[in-house]
Structure 1
């Protein structure tokens, strides 16, 4: 069941991004409410990943603003974003292939630990407690994601769909308020996509977080999203419920090149 939103967790206003004269985002505005699953759709080159990179502070922006949980993100460096409560997966898997599933997920706990390099090197008081807590939380995510049978295997030994779940576990390990999923269905078969939809809803409900989903698989987006935003050539062309966006003439034309 979708929690009732009390306010916008994420507010994007008049966002503009330009690369050497090319406008990647042109005055994009939308809100994502707490507890919602929001879908961000559009053809290739629409600006979806550019927007995600702005939210992650990997890209700057020429104009506009982004507010997350009441805070402006303009001055937040990229390495602080996870600590603020924004977790992310990527189009291309960014895992440590020589490390185990459990250790990859534990990496995500870094944003929630307080002991620095020196404290860990010298094994100062509190380091052991923090390590134990990180391991326990990572093991809980392993069980939640059904990764128990492969927890001690190196990621390089696993099939693509399983590695996708490992990356999801790493993002969840940072205890995000907002989870950014960048094309999580890419490379998955029909059965895996169906399971992914159920998993996204379970994550939202279990961890009481908010999800912003970039995805080309329209069946997945429309089945899990509370609200959908459509982009094309860097501009917002539609926003509304999945049913409203599915029937929008601008969205149909962007995807099919026709008004019917």
Structure 2
């Protein structure tokens, strides 16, 4: 019995030693399965541009649908998210290469137009938010210049925030210049309901095309050249007929304030 117990102990010691050596030898060969958090972060990194585009489109639609402080917050958020989308898009080497090939080699393929239209849409989506911030900064600077006494950094930031919110409120309540909506409403007999409805065409279409872009990157059944080209065409029409004139009106109003 004593020898049996000694033999059992010897086997256990040897088994533990062998198990340790096997673990040390294979730990670098087969990586552990990533956890859900690692998978989620990896997915966000792979789809960051499309995710930001969807968030910017949703924020822009909410800014139109909502009033008061929440609507103003959504207008500013849409501008910030549009700028973030543009930065993420330009950070992609494939996007930069596609744009460079188009301008330097004349390769105006589907990828070139998709990326070009995407960047234009990002820029136009940022205009209302950037316009509000610009007017807010100008108001704070003017208030500081003509103040009767020195203004602290905290007071300056407070005035900047207040003026930015007021400017965003004016932009939101003024609405965007929509010549297409005016024409359609005129053709419908001057219907105000039709005119208001036309204001939602571009934001809703933006949410749809942005959502499609994100879904197509992750669902093989949705990946097709026809779908991609259709989304690009819709975004180009939005930029030229709706968002472009609206952004030009905002830029003009901001320029008049800054004079």
Q: Which has the higher contact order (CA 8 A, sep 6+)?
A: 1
- The answer to whether TM tops 0.5 is no
Scaled by the length of structure 2, the TM-score of the pair is 0.24
Instruction: Indicate the structure (1 or 2) with the bigger Cα radius of gyration.
Output: 2
Scaled by the length of structure 1, the TM-score of the pair is 0.24
Structure with higher helix content: 2
